[in-house]
Amino acid sequence: MATPLIMTASGIRGIVGDNLDPALAVTVAKAFAYYLSSINETGPIIVGGDTRTSHDLYKNAVTSGLNASGYDAIDIGMCPTPTGQQMIRHHNASGAIIVTASHNPAEYNGLKIMNASGSFLNPQEFEAFKAVYDAKEESLVPWDRIGKVIVDDQAIHKHVDKILAELDTSALRKKPLRILVDVNHGAGAVANPILFKKLGIDADIMYPEPNGQFFHTPEPTKENLSALMKKMKSGNYDIGFAQDPDADRLVIIDENGHFIGEDYSLALCVEYILKRHSNDTDKNVVVNLSTSLVIEAVAANYQASTHYTKIGETNVTQGIRERNATVGGEGNGGIIYPKIGWGRDSLAGIVMALNYLAESGKTVSEIVKEYPKFTMIKDKKTVSSRDDVLPLLDKIESYFSNSPLDKQDGIKVSLTDSWIQVRPSNTEPIVRIFVEAPTPEEAEKLMSTVQSL
């Protein structure tokens, strides 16, 4: 029996050779083309993806579906997801389909669907697309109207140029830093050499072959980055970075080889941007509900307000637009700076972090030491359906009825200097449990309370 396919606004993901049939990629592409034609979007579609071994298999299937529907496909090859988002606007495209399963293991692949603005489909757009997909709507064109494939092999260069045009790197170029990056055979293996060459600095890259043969579990969490941390401790580096396979997420390792955490990596980048905008009178930061309180603390130091959205990049970008926010992101290490693009962008994050070190003269540990300390604990439970989550949510609502509750995404309980969130995952058949508190002991106590309900 095939594993259930995951299909949300955050992406379509499945297992190669199990539930992710190439024919499905063709169907998705035809449905997306039909949806775009229904809203009078007739421009080309960007197609690219990360370095997974099934890259060509699904990219070619997507291209075939688009061409059969009369749409040109601009093939940008193996590249970070944010490169695809950038190329939508660069080419005045109607959208993009990026072949990636993000942080999922190597046996997975999937499709991320973007709109003409360069961001994920918002919930309303996704529902409209999904209705077309479920109805198996398609509009195939005759032989003389089929789309063509246009190759853009300079997409990453254009993406990097956009970042460097927006972020002044003059201080960095005068103070070369010693950099170590774990790209884990992912899209960063293709993009980072281009970025560092344009910066005029050297960097040591671990697992640099872009072959999708991940050396370690792809999600850039502490337990998966032991080799990077060990090399940082012995290599006399100023900063270490790790990216996920499609290089939209970034985490930072300090000069002592310490994993500072995904949220603190985001905080460092957010603070750098807020410093650049310190003279702005109205500053807003938008993050998702599972993001650490450290962001609120950093934002408050720059008289910026923090706003929370449902989990999912599309919700954060929508929140950034609605609030006209200065910066935003997700606590998994995904910085979103609207002056550069409408998506999490690890390449932009790398430049922000390096600029911060060069301009301030501080080390990573010195910067992070100034932030309040929080401990976040994450747990998960496998479920057969999202409906299985409801009884647990009801118990939490009853138990914490006297505390502020946010029901945008599952349920979040706000306590004094701490919080709890329980929600169904957008990308996996699991329930995610998050707790955060000022100390490990307090966090463990909160997690035990939730698990006992």
User: Is 37 one of the annotated active-site residues of the chain?
Assistant: no
CB atoms within 10 A of CB 54: 21
Cα–chain-centroid distance for residue 72? 27
Q: Distance (Å, rounded) from C-alpha 254 to C-alpha 242?
A: 12
Measured between alpha carbons, how far is residue 423 from residues 272, 332, 432 in Å? Answer: 31, 16, 5
Task: With H, G, I as helix, E, B as strand and everything else as coil, classify residue 125.
Answer: helix
Choose the catalytic residue: 10, 102, 265, 290: 102
Contact present, 270 and 299 (Cβ < 8 Å):
yes
Q: Give the pair of three-digit tokens for residue 149.
A: 């494939």
Q: Where are the alpha helices (DSSP H) in 92-169?
A: 123-134, 155-166
Those residues with Cβ within 8 angstroms of residue 438's Cβ, 6 or more apart along the chain or in another chain: 372, 373, 374, 375, 417, 418
In DSSP notation, 347-404 reads HHHHHHHHHHHHHH---HHHHHHTSPP-EEEEEEEE-SSGGGGHHHHHHHHHHTTTS-
Cα distances (angstroms) measured from residue 198 to each of 155, 160, 208:
14, 8, 18
For 374, residues 6+ apart whose C-beta sits below 8 A from its C-beta are: 263, 292, 293, 294, 436, 437, 438
The rounded distance, in Å, linking the Cα atoms of 232 and 9 is: 37
- Containing 336, the helix (H) or strand (E) segment is strand 334-336
Name residues whose C-beta falls within 8 Å of residue 440's C-beta, 6 or more positions apart in sequence. Answer: 375
DSSP 224: G
Catalytic (active-site) positions: 102
